[in-house]
Structure 1
Amino acid sequence: MPSINFQDKSGSVVTALKLDPSAEGSLDGLTFTVKDNIDIAGHRTSYGSPAWREAHLPPMENAVCVDQLLAEGARCVGKVVADEFTYSLDGESQFFGTPRNAKAPDRIPGGSSSGSASSVGHGIANFSICTDSGGSIRVPASLCGLWGMRPSLHRLSEAGVLPFMPSVSTVGVLADSLAHLAMPMKVLLRSGRLKPAEVERLLVLTDALGVADPEVQDQANAKLEEISRRTGIPVHSVSFSEITENAYELRDCNLKALRDLQTLEFQNTVGNWIETVKPELGFTFSMAYGNVQSFNRQEALKSLEHCERLFAAINAYLTPGSVICFPTTPVIAPKKGTLNTMDAVMDFYDRTMTITAFSGVARLPEISAPLLAANGCPVGLSFAAAHYEDEFLINAVKQLLA
């Protein structure tokens, strides 16, 4: 295995690679990196944990998503840092260091696809393939001023991708432009020619705006007003209680559904290995894992039912032609080292996941666009559409931002 290389200016590269394309295609000339929970043949996969990397043999084959991109002409230039077991949204790694946020160097990059965001932000690659459960693509996209897409759940092959939260996790893309997001997504989605989008209803989720800092709210409202004025498509406000007919509040997507489901499934996908092997764990991850160890699995089974109800209600509301918008994250990137108290951690995670859990439990495709800024730092504006309306969403965003 090649030695770990942290000499790049981003601090994102775990293993520098030169994987040439296996064929020519629609991605000729583009470069990509791979989050280090996705397999590349002959190279150990760390999962953000040196102990995991050393305990597992190198895979014999690439993950299917890697082969898809190589077969369309893209070149892989490296594996990049993932947060420990991808169980984080902040991007600060005790073992691999904190990848640099190119747009705000004194601030965290967001996680768990921290290395993906940093490598793209620093121009190492045009795009990166990575994973998202509770926001691990969308949060770094927002905090680092990049394009990011979480597709509909299980639209993309997950063969060769380490499991985290099977009921919510998906492969997706972080990119330096909308074009460089759409091109690999089309390949990974196995899409034919993308049909022109006609946005019939543009919605703004008021509950998500209410969670955000005032300056983020102001920026989001101003951008949506500008989009509406330019396209002639009116923006309609909608509350989460209206979407669910008063059955749920927006925060229930996280508190009653995604958070408990994440903990429940993590016990199976990684927890059993941790309890058996007793590896060295990072300090921050150890605190989170304490919640897993003390978790009541029987109580958490209710989260499965909540997920199904939320999925049905949200997707019934998002009729064909509908796009719903909200700030990707409620805050700009916190400064490095400031998530060092329980109050700071809870404020960042609770508010952020109140928003990111919406698409997670509804299995929606969501694109975070780098359209906002507050206090000189980037913040994403997200666009989402109904489950399996990925191609529509890509073209809708092109229409709305043309």
Structure 2
Amino acid sequence: MADTAPFDRSGSLVEHLNIAPSGSGPLDGTTFTVKDNIDVAGHKTSYGSPAWRDAHPAPRHNALCVDQMLAAGARCVGKAVADEFTYSLDGESQFFGTPRNAKAPDRIPGGSSSGSAASVANGLADFSICTDSGGSIRVPASLCGLWGIRPSLHRISEAGVLPFMPSVSTVGLLAARFDHLEAATRVALRSRPNKKAPLKRLLVLSEAMEIADETVREQATSKLGKIADRTGLSPEPILLSQLLGEDIPLSDCNTRALRNLQTAEFQNTVGSWIETNRPGLGFTFSMAYGNVQSFDRIAALDSIMRCEQLFELINAALTPGIVICFPTTPVIAPLKGSLSTLDAVMDFYDRTMTITAFAGVGRLPEISAPLLTVDGCPVGLSFAAGHYQDEFLLAAVHEMVG
């Protein structure tokens, strides 16, 4: 279980820290945690696996993104629990426990940035540095009622971040408040002051709305109406095939592109170490890893081509001034322990990744905003823009939701 202090019942931290800022700047007075696949000097990085932690020395240097936050005035207060090898979206760890979802304590926090989300949602930190590949920032942001950003692929330095799925994974942030998310993101992006780009169109990804639970869809539609009143922009429903000008369903982003690419890359980055060292594996991860072991790598070659095709088509369509919106997740957080059958797991993962894979293959910046509430539980509403339009997206979301 996580080594947590008596005052912390969130189960969100592997280790409590108190690392003072190294400088002063826009993050003065704020605190942050670090997902435990990101290096903090002198402290072992577990990667969500005790076997990995015990087999590797403590890093000599902070990850560069950690140094950026410290230099900008923030204080690091802990290393946050992550799902095993960060290969999950549920946040239930056999080794470190399930961090507490502050907004829905009987439900999962989402993963793999489970401890990052819980540390922020439970008030231990203002923001957390974490990573996202198939939804590992956006899903816990949605299920825990937080702001979360997956920036454009590789906009933030990954030096000192353990390798996962290089063509998809990126560093991002979770925060309880938008101003903290924006300030920390701009530090990480190395943003310079820039002229505010005009928000011209608000598209709504129809297929993402259709696969969401009816209650989520109703809440999203209601919120979009309020955004229209605020901005004067009428939300424009659009199918992916209409956006791209080709007959490509949204599900292709996951099943014919991202999923296979992720699996093949995981074989290289982590699978070889697992096969060589034969560490103890958690039950849930072992089931997922079985798919990795049996995967036909040649099948991934077509998926690499598909990812590149989708990247080009999506970004040709998302020209400056356009934001596209959709529910971050199609459901509220499942109850703890409810993902215990294959049918339950497949429903949660397939529907969720159908949505999250869109920004993954597009290499898009996406912000999950805590704007929806269904049956007393939070759900995120996501906004995405074209590749490398991160600063525009931050400004646009501020204009739309304040």
TM-score by length of 2: 0.98
1:387 aligns with 2:381: no
Q: Which residue of 2 aligns with 1:277?
A: 277
Structure 1 range deviating more: 196-205 or 289-298:
196-205
What corresponds to 1:135 in structure 2? 135
Deviation for aligned residue 1:373: 0.9
2:306 aligned partner? 306
Q: Is the 8 A contact 1:212 1:331 kept in 2?
A: yes
Contact 2:80–2:116 (CA under 8 A) maintained in structure 1: yes
Local SS of the residue matching 2:14: strand
Task: Give 1:167-206 correspondences, 5 Å limit.
Answer: 167-206=167-206
After superposing the two structures, state which structure 1 stretch, 314-323 or 244-253, moved more: 244-253
Alignment partner, residue 69 of structure 2: 69
How many aligned residue pairs are there? 400
1:311-390 matched pairs, under 5 angstroms: 311-390=311-390
Q: How does 1:210-249 map to 2 (within 5 A)?
A: 210-249=210-249
1:4 maps onto 2:18 in alignment? no
Residue 78 of structure 2 corresponds to which residue in structure 1? 78
Do the aligned partners of 1:6 and 1:14 also contact (CA within 8 Å) in 2? no
Within a 5 Å distance, the mapping from 1:52-131 to structure 2 comes to 52-131=52-131
Please give the alpha-carbon distance, in whole angstroms, between the structure 2 residues aligned to 1:66 and 1:283: 32
Q: What is the rounded CA distance, in whole Å, between the counterparts of 2:172 and 2:214 in structure 1?
A: 30
Q: Secondary structure at the match of 1:305?
A: helix
1:149-185 Cα shifts (integer Å, max 9, x gaps):
0000000000000011000000000001100100000
- Would you say the 8 A contact 1:6–1:12 is kept in 2? no
Q: Is the 8 A contact 1:254 1:354 kept in 2?
A: yes
The answer to whether the 8 Å contact 1:89/1:135 transfers is yes
Q: AA paired with 2:235?
A: V
Structure 2 counterpart of 1:156: 156
CA distance in 2 between counterparts of 1:321 and 1:170 reads 24
CA shift at 1:194, angstroms? 4.0
Distance 1:13 1:125 in 2: 11
Write the distance in 2 (CA, Å) between the matches of 1:71 and 1:354: 38
- Shift, 1:299, TM fit: 1.4
Partner of 1:31 in structure 2?
Answer: 31
- Secondary structure in structure 2 of the residue aligned to 1:247: coil
Secondary structure of the structure 2 residue equivalent to 1:315: helix
C-alpha displacement of 1:196: 1.8
Residue 374 (structure 1) shift: 0.7
Kindly state the Cα deviation for residue 144 of structure 1 after the two structures are TM-superposed: 0.2
Q: Whole-Å Cα distance in 2 between the matches of residues 12 and 6 of structure 1?
A: 11
Length-normalised TM-score, structure 1:
0.98
Q: Which stretch has the larger CA shift, 240-249 or 47-56?
A: 240-249
Shift of 1:300: 1.4
The answer to whether the 8 Å contact 1:261/1:304 transfers is: yes
Question: Residue 263 of structure 1 corresponds to which residue in structure 2?
Answer: 263
After TM superposition, give the deviation of residue 231 of structure 1 in Å. Answer: 1.4
Offset at 1:6? Answer: 6.2
Q: Which residue of 2 aligns with 1:42?
A: 42
C-alpha separation between the residues in 1 aligned to 2:106 and 2:152? 33
8 Å CA contact 2:5–2:16 kept in 1: the answer is no
Q: How does 1:10-21 map to 2 (within 5 A)?
A: 10-21=10-21
Name stretches of at least 5 consecutive residues in structure 2 with no aligned partner: none
Question: Is this contact kept in 2: 1:195–1:391, CA < 8 A?
Answer: no
- Asked if 2 retains the 8 angstrom alpha-carbon contact of 1:216 and 1:331, the reply is yes
Which secondary structure state, in structure 2, belongs to the residue aligned with residue 192 of structure 1?
A: coil
For the 8 Å contact 1:365–1:390, the answer to whether it is kept is yes
Query: Does the 8 Å CA contact 1:150/1:172 hold for their aligned counterparts?
Result: yes
Shift of 1:49: 0.1
Q: Secondary structure of the equivalent of 1:378? A: strand
Q: Identity, % of aligned pairs?
A: 69
Q: 1:193, CA displacement in angstroms?
A: 1.0
Matches of 1:254 and 1:356 in 2, distance apart? Answer: 8
1:203 Cα deviation from its structure 2 partner: 0.5
Displacement after TM superposition at 1:229 (Å): 1.4
Q: For residues 16-67 of structure 1, what are the alpha-carbon distances to aligned partners after superposition, in whole Å with 9 as ceiling and x for unaligned?
A: 0010000111100000000000000000000000000000000000000000
Is the Cα–Cα contact under 8 Å of residues 81 and 115 in structure 1 kept in the other structure? yes
Structure 1 gaps of 5+ residues are: none
